[in-house]
């Protein structure tokens, strides 16, 4: 994984964390908020894991 891919992953993670923070501030902690955070994390990070981390060279 090159430096540009790492930078993109860090930016995406920071954006996701900011959006999770805004969700928690607006709605508070409840089961639905927890479900939304977990589901969005799966949707965002699992494909990136499969692309960049599985073999280390970007190929599945």
Higher confidence at residue 56 or residue 52? Answer: 52
Asked if pLDDT for residue 44 goes beyond 80, the answer is yes
Report which of 45, 59, 50 is spatially closest to residue 16, judged by C-alpha positions: 45
Per-residue three-class SS string for 1-60: CCHHHHHHHHHHHHHHHHHHHHHHHHHCCCHHHHHHHHHHHHHHHHHHHHHHHCCCCCCC
The pTM of this model reads: 0.78
pLDDT for 11-35, tens place per residue? 999 999 999 999 999 998 999 999 9
| Phi-psi map region of 28: left, alpha, beta (phi>0 left; psi -120 to 50 alpha) | left
Higher confidence at residue 2 or residue 33? Answer: 33
Asked if pLDDT for residue 60 goes beyond 50, the answer is no
Question: For residue 11, what pLDDT is reported?
Answer: 94
């Amino acid at each position: 994984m090159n430096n540009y891919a790492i930078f993109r992953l860090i930016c995406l993670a920071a954006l996701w964390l900011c959006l999770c923070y805004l969700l928690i501030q607006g709605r508070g902690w409840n089961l639905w908020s927890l479900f939304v955070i977990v589901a969005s994390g799966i949707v965002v990070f699992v494909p990136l894991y499969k692309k960049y981390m599985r073999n280390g060279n970007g190929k599945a």
